Amino acid sequence: MRDQPRELLTAVDALLAAVDDGSVLPAPNERVRLREAAGLTQAAVAQALGARVPSVQAWEAGRAEPTAERLEAYRRLLEGLARRYPAPAAPPAGKDPARAQPVPAESAPEAAVTATGNTAPPVPAPARTSAPAPAAAAPGAVSRPARTARPTSSTSRRAVAQRAAPAGIPAGGGDPRFENGPLAVVDVADGQVLAYCTGGLVLDVPAKSLPALVDWTLTQARLGAPRLSGPGKDADPLLVLTGAALERYGLPVALTEAERLAGRLPEDHKVVRQLARAQWKLTKRGLGPWARIYRPATGSERACVQLCIPSWNALDTRHWGAAGQLPPAELARVLGVYASRVMTPRGSTAVTGLELMTALHPPTRASAADADGRRTSERNPGSLGRDPVDCAPCEAPDGHPLLKDLPRFHVRGPGEKLFEEAYDWARPMTDAECTLRHLVGIDVNMAFAAGANGLPAGLGGPTHVKAPLFDPKLPGSWLVDLSHVDLSTVKVGKERVDLDGSLLPSPFTPKGGRPEGPAWYATPTVAYAQELGYEVRPLEAYVRYENGRYLDGWYNRLRDAYLATMADLGVHADMDPADFLAAMDGHRERDPELAIVVSAVKATVKGGLGKLRERPRGEGWRPGEPWRALSRPTWRPDIRAAVIARTRINLHRKIVKHAVFTGQYPVAVLSDCVVYAADGPSPLDFLPYREGKPLPGGFKLGVNPGLVKWEGTQSVLWGEEVRERFNAPELNLARYIKDGTVTDADNGE
């Protein structure tokens, strides 16, 4: 105790020294003001600093301070923002601010206020034009350029009024090369070509042809996005062409049937010839819905622009909803939020999901300088490398070149083929369940993303091993007999418990049936058999000794994108169960544009994982011949299988713990949706919450990946009637629990 005063004095001296050095951070409320004044989201700050969103939230609430490695970077960010957005001057003493005379927006655009109540950034007057600055619009509106005088081609205008947080996506993220944002929606209004960028910015486009538009984009537009990883590449600018822009530049508003099937315009189309004459090149996919126009790189300088053409079905309605029909400013907002939180779209959500993996783990990097100061390209640690690797024979899908010697009509069984897929299982209801009133479906949020988190993935090719000892930390495919695993007696934690195994799906097969002999499984499936208390003895395996947590960064970025967008929709992490259910009710209607972003983020997860085992896409392919996707280092069916296996096992573990604790068993499981019979219509009527706390390791309501939300409720009578109608006592009711609609076509009638 005697040393305590000395310790306190030392701490005070250290604090005074920090003040003298200017290294003390601004007050928490000032940190919030600076971020919001710049239109930055907490997710954007977290991404730049390599931190998590909850950490940034804690810094802004004053609950915590950045650690040493991030303190300097965070202080530099705040100082830079303070120079750009100084605090407003305090009103003169004795003067009531509420009685101050309002300043017209035309004369003082810097006085405009955002929808969040914070002072908006200063708006520069349009260059070389006599048109007045636009007046402040209502929250959520996007102002159009004034038509009083036609500005010069270099003129840009920013909407004075901005939406709440998501609309404040910064135009350039602080990089002067990309100060106007990652993308622009090009449209024609009143005969003038306009480029609608993120943050409400509108640029005048002087280009009269598509080649000129590409030139303008690369030389004047300042569009693009900085790389996501040090050894990676900056994102190329994306131009989204509306129907009016297509007509202006000589392109069809819709593709013909032949062009749609080919996925591109013919090479003799006049615009394609224009590009060739201007020495621009197209990638192999040509001028189609997602086109890349480029010139060969010179040194480190890239010259590439990507086109997105919604009227050619570039934005799949299954994932982007009605985005393709949005007005230009709103479409720029949707794609801009997605680009800032995920990445600039590179094609479909599936293509973007795969490209995000590569952007976060580029295959190569520059080596250390040699004695002469020269650097060479070398393998980037933790990446999949530049060259593709062969899969194991058991991991190869039907038709793969590794299987070309099999008889033509040979059907591989579980002992020859790795078959890790999502659940599609259902069972008849028991008499006790039929006395209940409701069937309630719960759905796991971002289930496959959660399955990828922390998963060891093979980074190289497989090694074949006979009679190996099973290692749960070693990625691979294992031939092992799990038919002896009896779900009537399993180990949960340190105790063995008895269950009604007939009411549970097997964790080892997608259809939930018990395996009948040796079969190929990914590592997470075999590890779960051990976890349940059963011995496993693999007969052989294909293992990958070079491995790492390749998907962690991918998961983190998609998780943060999902949580930030859901928070913008009013659904936050760590809400009470009842509050969470209330917040989820109608959340998509609060901001339909942001709801589109949520759907696109989810599709990016599933599509990106699906691309890891992309199948042939026409092109005259025949079984036994290679197809285009096999030439990618990211064609990795083993990684896809491991993620799906882990996702299925995670779900089964929760089902088992729920059964142990409550005696309730699922009626149906479809992928990440589980249906239970219950007395009430809400998940709270059967999920075991005690004093607001869920069962450890079981189902928990919440927005975070891996937690569950309400999927839908139907009556038990509905379920029985549907099954009787189709004479299918094991019809999977999870497929229809959301709205209860079942058609004859759904059941092969």
Length of the chain: 749
Rounded percentage of the chain residues whose pLDDT exceeds 70: 84
Backbone angles phi, psi at 185, to 5 degrees: -100, 115
How large is the average pLDDT for residues 190-199? 94
Is 497 within 8 Å of 486 (Cβ atoms)?
Answer: no
Does the pLDDT of residue 138 top 50, yes or no? no
Rounded percentage of the chain residues whose pLDDT exceeds 90: 69
Token pair of 463, please? Answer: 């090694």
Instruction: Provide the pLDDT for residue 118.
Output: 37
**What is the Cα–Cα distance from 382 to 373, expressed in whole angstroms?**
25
Sign of CA dihedral 614, 615, 618, 622: positive
The sheet carrying 708-715 orders its strands as 424-426, 668-670, 673-678, 438-444, 708-715
Instruction: Provide the pLDDT for residue 745.
Output: 54
Is 286 within 8 Å of 264 (Cβ atoms)?
Answer: yes
How large is the average pLDDT for residues 417-427? 97
**What is the Cα–Cα distance from 476 to 474, expressed in whole angstroms?**
6
- 713 Cβ contact partners less than 8 Å away, ≥ 6 residues apart: 438, 439, 440, 441, 681, 682, 737
Q: What is the DSSP string of 318-357?
A: HHHTTGGGS-HHHHHHHHHHHHHHT----SSHHHHHHHHH
Instruction: Provide the pLDDT for residue 743.
Output: 75
Does the pLDDT of residue 123 top 90, yes or no? no
**What is the Cα–Cα distance from 637 to 392, expressed in whole angstroms?**
9
C-alpha distances in Å from residue 278, one per residue of 213, 215, 246, 274: 12, 10, 19, 6
548: enclosing H helix or E strand: strand 547-548
What string of H, E and C letters represents the secondary structure of 20-72? HHCCCCCCHHHHHHHHHHCCCCHHHHHHHHCCCHHHHHHHHHCCCCCCHHHHH
Is 418 within 8 Å of 641 (Cβ atoms)?
Answer: yes
Lowest model confidence (mean pLDDT) among 111-115, 353-357, 378-382, 695-699: 111-115
**377: helix, coil or strand?**
strand
| Beta strand pairing call for 238-241 and 183-189 | parallel
If pLDDT is split at 50, 70 and 90, which confidence band does 595 have? very high
Is 436 within 8 Å of 679 (Cβ atoms)?
Answer: yes
How large is the average pLDDT for residues 215-221? 96
How large is the average pLDDT for residues 355-364? 96
Amino acid at 465: V
Token pair of 732, please? Answer: 């999977």
**Domains of the chain by start residue, with CATH:** 18-84 (1.10.260), 134-345 (no CATH), 393-421+454-548 (no CATH)
**522: helix, coil or strand?**
strand
Rg of the chain in Å (alpha carbons): 29
Does the pLDDT of residue 102 top 80, yes or no? no
520: enclosing H helix or E strand: strand 518-522
Looking at residue 701, the DSSP 8-state letter turns out to be B
If pLDDT is split at 50, 70 and 90, which confidence band does 228 have? very high
Token pair of 664, please? Answer: 């309730």
Q: What is the pTM of this model?
A: 0.79
> How does pLDDT run across 273-291, given as a tens digit for each residue?
999 999 999 998 899 999 9
Amino acid at 16: L
- 486 Cβ contact partners less than 8 Å away, ≥ 6 residues apart: 501
**What is the Cα–Cα distance from 548 to 381, expressed in whole angstroms?**
9
**What is the Cα–Cα distance from 297 to 299, expressed in whole angstroms?**
6
> How does pLDDT run across 634-650, given as a tens digit for each residue?
999 999 999 999 999 99
Q: How many CA atoms lie within 13 A of 41 on its CB side?
A: 28
> How does pLDDT run across 373-415, given as a tens digit for each residue?
888 889 999 999 999 999 999 999 999 999 999 998 899 999 9
